[in-house]
């Protein structure tokens, strides 16, 4: 009897284990396919769903030995319904309200693989219909009109939840920036008109009272609290009693307070609980630090498209002669392409003609003031001396620069603007031309302006940066000499530099990004000639922030004339007057702190746009690795010369190490 019981229990245990093993058996998700999708590609929909097909065998191998990348992906049946809901949600948010999604799972038991297919019937999308805005009828006419302009829809366009949300955010910001401190956005209701296939929209706001500033309350602490006067802090806060509450202005003013350097911590905000009628006080809470700081520093930067490593020391005097002025005295030096330096022979070989040690020495005295002419204008006056040592030249620069930065609202077409006036003397010595000396003095007026909509400085996932730099040189000295009846020996020139970068999010987790950059520059001497343009006003390409298959500033026009004698032969020295660069990167971030990048860079510089030729565009391809910190990402890029206009042999016909450049950098390339 006992034997029969043992046999029965054994059989039951074996069957249970078999069933359990079958239940927990994992099947590799070999592929995820989409059929019927016409509006959106499969690569876009891949980033919408939760199921992820197994990566290529190479990435599995990398994952097995390093833990990076992604290993084998296994089929999870619970994700199928989540995927269907996610796909429907994505289509719904883009106007496809009648979309239908089904799935099919194919299990291959012999190879232990699963193929997952989603069948999508998109149907016709809905366009924008009637828009109603509820809750703003009692607003002043100008604010009412502004909100309606932000929310205006085009009935010929397909409904987009993302676009509508952005417009609602801007409209809501208008309320917060015009005194409606406790305003709220309540909800959005979408009504689908099935006959006309239109999405009718109701947007609901609650505005509340319109508030003005009653007073600015100062609460300060810290070792420097007794030195900085309350009157000054109220002035820098930018608000006076009677001003309308403005959240955007509070944000900008808090940035200006930080830029003074006076504070360890600072906060500017409205005290909602202390409102009285239609008035609200502002509270400025701050911890004020030492007025004098002396700090050594390690220099790591990407100046002149090159990775520089060096040392420096900085002295800062805060609240210099009052008015929150800041004086900064700094000196530094940096070694360029440090991994090419033979440190054993530095002191033996170091001389003007030595090219084994390249870099710069820089000294600056800078004065900053956050509030000029009674307006929100940040002023800077900087005096500097720089020695720049390169392979083919030495350049000693002395100059002074006055700059004014204007604070602009975030949602305007142009949201940053600065103007400057610069006087500079450049002493250029060309060692490849018998140490010829060329001295150039310029007086220039310029403006920097543009727009930025990116969501992060460290790892932008959407938005764009668009900047313009315009500079006109020597107009004032030219006019003065003409008035005096003297001859002007310099060159009058203008410089234009346009840079645009865009970022597209490829995943709902914002970890896979496609980034683009285009850079166009032009310098034109309209009085005098090219020889009169300083070397640091011309264009160079190549380096860690440029074409990464070439070293810093390595790509310049052939046979560049540098002297008024018209010398055009010999090694390249001076940069071009026309620049074109473009880059595309695929960026993937994983494990929070790590990232991998695949990139293609193309570009060059020429002596004028008329010399531009497509077959002279240098092309680099490569892969890079990132380590993200709270300060900035550190990067290593492996760049390969895919197409060299000076050596047009196929990439595989060249020695790999002579065709390869290792680039180090701080921050993303763009």
Do 456 and 667 meet the contact criterion of CB atoms below 8 Å apart? no
Virtual torsion, Cα 486, 491, 492, 497, nearest 10 deg:
-160
User: What is residue 411's three-state secondary structure?
Assistant: coil
Segment 392-404 shows an average pLDDT of: 90
Among 97-106, 107-116, 599-608, 614-623, whose mean pLDDT is lowest? 107-116
**CA 617 – CA 583 distance, rounded (Å):** 12
pLDDT for 508: 66
Q: Check whether 347 has a pLDDT greater than 70.
A: no
Among 314-328, 551-565, 615-629, whose mean pLDDT is lowest? 551-565
Q: Check whether 13 has a pLDDT greater than 60.
A: no
Segment 205-228 shows an average pLDDT of: 90
Q: In terms of pLDDT, which residue wins out, 366 or 54?
A: 366
The dihedral through the CA atoms of 326, 331, 337, 339 has a sign that is negative
For 265, residues 6+ apart whose C-beta sits below 8 A from its C-beta are: 285, 286, 287
Distance of CA 648 to the CA centre of its chain: 34
Q: Check whether 383 has a pLDDT greater than 60.
A: yes
pLDDT for 24: 53
Confidence band for 226, pLDDT divided at 50, 70 and 90: confident
For 39-83, the DSSP string reads SS-HHHHHTTSS------HHHHHHHHHHS-S----B--THHHHHH
Give CA angle at 165 (269, 415), nearest 5°. 55
Place of tokens 């401190």: 181
Q: Check whether 22 has a pLDDT greater than 50.
A: no
User: What does the pLDDT look like over 576-603, one tens digit per residue?
Assistant: 899 999 999 999 888 778 889 999 999 9
pLDDT for 466: 94
Tell me whether strands 492-505 and 292-301 are parallel, antiparallel or unpaired: unpaired
Burial class of 399 by CB neighbour count within 10 A (0 to 12, 13 to 18, 19+): middle
Tokens of 240: 């006076």
Distance of CA 415 to the CA centre of its chain: 15
Which long-range contacts does 248-252 make (Cβ < 8 Å, 24+ apart)?
Answer: 248/173, 248/176, 248/177, 248/409, 248/410, 249/177, 250/282, 252/376, 252/407
Confidence band for 355, pLDDT divided at 50, 70 and 90: low
**CA 593 – CA 626 distance, rounded (Å):** 8
Report the predicted TM-score, pTM, of the whole model to 2 decimal places.
0.73
Segment 538-555 shows an average pLDDT of: 87
Question: What are the structural domains of the chain?
Answer: 28-121 (3.10.20.310), 127-206 (3.10.20.310), 212-288 (3.10.20.310), 292-666 (2.40.160.50)
Q: For residue 470, which of 448, 492, 450 has the smallest C-alpha distance?
A: 448
φ, ψ of residue 665 in degrees (nearest 5): -160, 165
pLDDT for 20: 44
User: What does the pLDDT look like over 423-455, one tens digit per residue?
Assistant: 999 888 877 666 677 788 889 999 999 999 888
pLDDT for 569: 45
**CA 517 – CA 670 distance, rounded (Å):** 7
Q: For residue 663, which of 632, 630, 641, 631 has the smallest C-alpha distance?
A: 641
Segment 206-231 shows an average pLDDT of: 89
Segment 347-351 shows an average pLDDT of: 54
Q: In terms of pLDDT, which residue wins out, 437 or 123?
A: 123
Half-sphere exposure of 343 (CA within 13 A, CB side): 5
**CA 120 – CA 573 distance, rounded (Å):** 60
Segment 130-158 shows an average pLDDT of: 91
pLDDT for 471: 96
Q: In terms of pLDDT, which residue wins out, 607 or 357?
A: 607
Residue 396 β-bridge partners: 387, 427
For 545-610, the DSSP string reads TS-TTS-TT-B--TT---STT----SS--S-BSEEEEEEEEEEEEETTTEEEEEEEEEEEEESSGG
Tell me whether strands 436-452 and 416-430 are parallel, antiparallel or unpaired: antiparallel
Do 394 and 429 meet the contact criterion of CB atoms below 8 Å apart? yes
Query: What 3 state SS string does 620-670 have?
Result: EEEEEEEEECCCCEEEEEEEEEEEECCECCCHHHCCCHHHEEEEEEECCCC
Burial class of 344 by CB neighbour count within 10 A (0 to 12, 13 to 18, 19+): exposed
Q: Check whether 572 has a pLDDT greater than 70.
A: no
Do 90 and 50 meet the contact criterion of CB atoms below 8 Å apart? no
The dihedral through the CA atoms of 522, 528, 530, 532 has a sign that is negative
CA distances from 428 to 305, 437, 605 (A): 20, 6, 20
For 261-284, the DSSP string reads S-EEEEEEEE-GGG-BTTEEEEEE
Q: Check whether 567 has a pLDDT greater than 50.
A: no
Distance of CA 398 to the CA centre of its chain: 31
Task: Name the average pLDDT for the chain.
Answer: 84
The dihedral through the CA atoms of 552, 558, 562, 567 has a sign that is positive
Segment 245-262 shows an average pLDDT of: 86
User: What does the pLDDT look like over 161-174, one tens digit per residue?
Assistant: 988 998 999 899 99
The dihedral through the CA atoms of 87, 93, 96, 97 has a sign that is positive
Residue 292 host element (H or E)? strand 292-301
For 560, residues 6+ apart whose C-beta sits below 8 A from its C-beta are: 568, 572, 573, 574, 575, 576, 607
Q: Check whether 564 has a pLDDT greater than 90.
A: no
User: What does the pLDDT look like over 40-49, one tens digit per residue?
Assistant: 888 788 888 8
Confidence band for 21, pLDDT divided at 50, 70 and 90: very low
Segment 5-12 shows an average pLDDT of: 58
pLDDT for 375: 76
pLDDT for 563: 47
For residue 235, the 8-state DSSP code is H
Confidence band for 491, pLDDT divided at 50, 70 and 90: confident
- Sequence-ordered strand ranges (E) for 54-197: 100-108, 113-121, 127-134, 184-193
Confidence band for 628, pLDDT divided at 50, 70 and 90: confident
pLDDT for 432: 65
pLDDT for 266: 87
N-term to C-term CA, the chain: 81
For residue 506, the 8-state DSSP code is -
Q: For residue 558, which of 515, 615, 604 has the smallest C-alpha distance?
A: 604
pLDDT for 669: 87
pLDDT for 651: 65
| Residue percentage of the chain with pLDDT more than 70 | 86
């Amino acid at each position: 009897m006992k034997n029969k019981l043992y046999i029965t229990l054994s059989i039951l245990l074996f069957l249970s284990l078999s069933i359990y093993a079958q239940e927990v058996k994992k099947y590799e998700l070999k592929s995820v396919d989409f059929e019927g999708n016409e509006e959106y590609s499969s690569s876009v929909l891949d980033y919408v769903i939760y199921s992820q097909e197994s990566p290529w065998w190479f990435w599995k191998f990398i994952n097995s030995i390093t833990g990076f990348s992604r290993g084998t992906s296994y089929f999870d049946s619970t994700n199928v319904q989540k995927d269907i809901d996610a796909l429907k949600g994505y289509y719904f948010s883009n106007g496809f309200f009648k979309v239908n999604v089904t799935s099919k799972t194919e299990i291959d038991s012999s190879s232990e693989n699963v193929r997952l297919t989603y069948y999508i019937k998109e149907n016709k999308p809905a366009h924008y219909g009637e828009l109603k805005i509820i809750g703003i009828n009692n607003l002043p006419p100008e604010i009412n009109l502004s909100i309606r302009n932000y929310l205006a829809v085009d009935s010929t366009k397909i409904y987009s939840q993302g676009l509508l949300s952005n417009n609602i955010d801007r409209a809501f910001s208008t309320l917060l920036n015009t005194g409606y401190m406790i305003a709220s956005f309540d909800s959005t209701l979408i009504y689908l008109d099935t006959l006309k296939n239109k999405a009718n929209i109701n947007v609901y706001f609650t505005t509340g009272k319109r508030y003005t500033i009653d007073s600015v309350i100062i609460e300060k602490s810290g070792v420097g609290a007794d030195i900085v006067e309350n009157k000054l802090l109220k002035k820098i806060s930018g608000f006076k009693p009677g001003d309308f509450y403005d959240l955007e202005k509070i944000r900008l003013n808090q940035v200006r307070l930080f830029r003074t350097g006076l504070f360890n911590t600072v906060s500017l905000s409205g005290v909602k609980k202390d409102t009285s009628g239609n008035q609200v006080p502002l509270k400025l809470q701050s911890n004020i630090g030492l007025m004098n700081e002396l700090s050594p520093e390690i220099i790591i930067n990407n100046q002149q498209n090159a990775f520089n490593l060096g040392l420096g020391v900085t002295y800062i005097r805060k609240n210099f002669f009052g008015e929150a002025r800041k004086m900064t005295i700094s000196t530094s030096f940096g070694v360029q392409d440090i991994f090419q330096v033979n440190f054993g022979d530095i002191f033996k070989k170091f001389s003007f003609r030595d090219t084994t040690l390249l870099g710069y020495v820089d000294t600056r005295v800078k004065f900053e003031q956050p509030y000029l002419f009674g307006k929100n204008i940040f002023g800077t006056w900087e005096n500097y001396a720089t020695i720049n040592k390169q392979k083919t030249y030495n350049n000693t620069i002395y100059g002074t620069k006055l700059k004014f930065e204007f604070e602009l609202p975030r949602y305007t077409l142009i949201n940053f603007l600065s103007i400057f006036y610069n006087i500079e003397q450049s002493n250029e010595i060309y060692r490849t031309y018998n140490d010829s000396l060329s001295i150039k003095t310029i007086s220039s007026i310029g403006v920097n302006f543009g727009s930025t909509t990116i969501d992060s400085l460290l790892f932008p996932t959407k938005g764009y940066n668009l900047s313009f730099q315009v500079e006109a040189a020597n107009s004032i000295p030219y006019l003065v000499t003409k008035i005096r009846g003297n001859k002007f020996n310099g060159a009058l020139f203008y410089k234009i530099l346009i840079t645009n970068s865009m970022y597209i999010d490829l995943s709902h987790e914002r970890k896979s990004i496609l980034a683009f950059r285009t850079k166009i520059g032009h310098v034109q001497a309209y009085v005098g000639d090219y020889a009169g343009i300083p070397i640091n006003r011309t264009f160079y390409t190549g380096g860690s922030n440029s074409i990464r298959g070439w070293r810093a500033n390595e790509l310049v026009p052939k046979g560049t004339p540098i002297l008024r004698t018209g010398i055009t032969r010999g090694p390249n020295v001076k940069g071009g007057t026309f620049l074109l660069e473009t880059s595309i990167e695929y960026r993937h971030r994983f494990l929070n702190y790590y990232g991998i990048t695949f990139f293609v860079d193309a570009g060059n510089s020429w002596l004028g746009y008329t010399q531009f030729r497509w077959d002279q565009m240098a092309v680099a391809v490569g892969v890079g690795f990132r380590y993200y910190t709270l300060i900035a990402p550190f990067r290593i890029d492996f760049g390969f010369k895919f197409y060299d206009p000076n050596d047009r042999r196929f990439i595989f016909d060249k020695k790999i190490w002579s065709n390869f450049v290792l680039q180090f950098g701080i921050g993303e390339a763009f």
